[in-house]
Structures are given as C-alpha cells and as structure tokens.
Amino acid sequence: PSWIPFKIGQPKKQIVPKTVERDFEREYGKLQQLEEQTRRLQKDMKKSTDADLAMSKSAVKISLDLLSNPLCEQDQDFLNMVTALDTAMKRMDAFNQEKVNQIQKTVIEPLKKFGSVFPSLNMAVKRREQALQDYRRLQAKVEKYEEKEKTGPVLAKLHQAREELRPVREDFEAKNKQLLDEMPRFYGSRLDYFQPSFESLIRAQVVYYSEMHKIFGDLTQQLDQPGHSDEQRERENETKLSELRALSIVADD
C-alpha cells in the first residue's frame, strides 16, 4: 500500500510476483521437510540397528554363562541342552551382524548421501536471498531518485542507479529460475533413490528370519519338546512353584 512510508532500502514495487514467491516457498518448504525426515530416519535406523545388535549380544551371553557353570560338568543332559543353545545363539549373532551390515550399506549410507546435498541447496537458497536483498536495495534506490526533482545530478544518479540495478536483477532472476528448476527435480529424485533401499530392508529381514526360523526350529526338535501352548507352560510353571513351596526349606513369600 502506497501510504506506508517506505524505509530506505525497501522498494515500493513488489519486485517478485507473489505467485513466484509462493512457488519458491512451497518447493523449498517441501525440501526442508524432506531434509528433516531424512535426517530423522537415518538416526532412527542407526539406533534401531544398535539396539538389535545389543539384543543379540545379550542372547549370546545367556548361553555363554550357562555353559561356564560347573553344573555342566556333572549333568550331561544339561550340558547337551546348553551346548545346543549356545551354538544356536552364536550362529544367530553372526547372521544378525550380517543383516546389520547390509542395512548399513543399503539404507543408512544412502540416507547419509542424500542428506549431504542439502547444505549445498541451503547455501544456494541463501545466495538467492542475498541477491534478492541486493535487488530490493537497488530497486529502492532507483525509486528514490525517481521521486526526486529531476535535476542534472539527480538524473545522472538515476541513470547510474538504473544501470547498477540491471545486472543485480538479472542475477537474481537467474538464480531464482535455476532453483525453481532444480528443486522439484531434486525432490522428485527421492522416489527412485529410496525405493531400492526399502526393498533391501525387507529382503534383509526375510533372509535373517528364515535362518532364525530354521535354527530355532531345529533346536526345538533336538530338545525333544512337545508343542505346548502358553497356558500349558504357565501351568507347568505354577506346578513347579508349588512343588518348591511344599518344601519346608523354602520360605513363604
């Protein structure tokens, strides 16, 4: 609105059309969100795989400690069971490491690489912004001289200002166009870029859990267990507890 007294350096004319500005903000906004999500996904995947590895390691510790108990020397059945368990755990740990390596290579690394483009983008957007500021400043300067009484020196300055303005405006427009072209392309590239990673993630799960299913399936066969239901198992636990409690040496709790 023309009644607003303009500050030095601020042009009155809207030099960038609203639609252009809106388009730019929309495209850049989408990319900023994508940057945030990429970073978060990378972080979460890393933490998830770390926890996965930790779980596997503590499973190995279970069987390792059992194996080192002197009971194994006395009780052959116990020793057999614990040895079989230990073998299974160690194999699963190896497969788990492989799985994590695959995820690192095919998911986390690509995420990182994708994320590394954003600083360049952000820098480019900053430069466009700077060019816009320069543009505005010079535009304001031109308008200032245009407002004044047209004396000789004023005319000279007006000319100068106009000539100063022109390259800056062209620079801004070039940057603007460049970004408006590249940003959607970059945003769109995520589709082709990431789909293979997700495919790899799913496949890695299948590979790992197939092994796990086989190994623990074999182990249950080997330990000669009947396929109990959870209720049955709970009842077995209750029975054992009451048998223990029937002994005088066991304190009532």
Partner 1 sequence: MADPGADEPSSRSGSTDQAGQGSKDRLLLHQRLAIRELIDTEVSYLHMLQLCALDIRSHLQQLPQEDLDVLFSNMDDIIQVSSRFLHGLQEMASMEEEQAHLIGNLFLEFQEEFERVYKVYCANYDQALLLVKAYRKEPELQQEIQGIIEAAVPQAGPSGLSFLLVIPLQRITKYPLLLQKILENTLPNASAYPILQRAMSALQGVNSNINEYKMRKEVASKYTKVEQLSLRERLARINTHTLSKKTTRLSQLLKQEAGLVPRTEDKDFNDLEEKFQWVSLCVTELKSNVAAYLDNLEVFLQFRPHECSLDISGGPAEQYRSLARDLQLEVFLEFKQRLEGLVWKPLCSLTRALVGPQNLIKKRLDKLLDFERVEEKLLDVGSVTYEEEEARHTYQALNSLLVAELPKFNQLVMQWLTQILHSFVALQRDLADQVLRRAESSMVQLPHHRAPEPDFRKLLEDTLGQTCSQLHSFQENFEKVLPHPSTQPLLPGSEYQMQALLTKYGPGKLYQVMSNISGTGTLDLTLPRGQIVALLQNKDTKGNSSRWLVDTGGHRGYVSARKLQLYHMAPSEKALRGLVAPHENFQLLTPEPTPAPSPTVQAMTQVVAAYPFVARSSHEVSLQAGQPVTILEAQDKKGNPEWSLVEVNGQRGYVPSSFLVSSPSPASWGWTLPS
Hey, which residues between 48 and 67 contact partner 1 (CB under 8 A)?
Answer: 48, 51-52, 54-55, 58-59, 61-62, 65-66
For position 22 contacting partner 1 by CB under 8 A, the verdict is no
Question: In whole angstroms, how far apart are CA 164 and each of 130, 135, 155?
Answer: 16, 10, 14
Choose one: 2-10, 20-28, 93-101, 121-129; the region binding partner 1 (CB under 8 A): 121-129
For position 94 contacting partner 1 by CB under 8 A, the verdict is no
For position 128 contacting partner 1 by CB under 8 A, the verdict is yes
The correct pick among 23, 93, 98, 134 for binding partner 1 (CB under 8 A) is 134
Query: Between residues 4 and 132, which has the closer beta carbon with respect to partner 1?
Result: 132
- Rounded to a whole number of angstroms, the minimum distance from the CB of residue 207 to partner 1 is 6
Query: Between residues 25 and 170, which has the closer beta carbon with respect to partner 1?
Result: 170
For position 253 contacting partner 1 by CB under 8 A, the verdict is yes
Residues 24 to 53: which contact partner 1 by CB under 8 A?
30, 33-34, 37-38, 40-41, 44-45, 47-48, 51-52
Residues 202 to 231: which contact partner 1 by CB under 8 A?
202-203, 205-207, 209-210, 212-213, 216-217, 219-220, 223, 225, 227-228, 230
Residues 148 to 187: which contact partner 1 by CB under 8 A?
149-160, 163-164, 166-168, 170-171, 175, 178-179, 182, 185-186
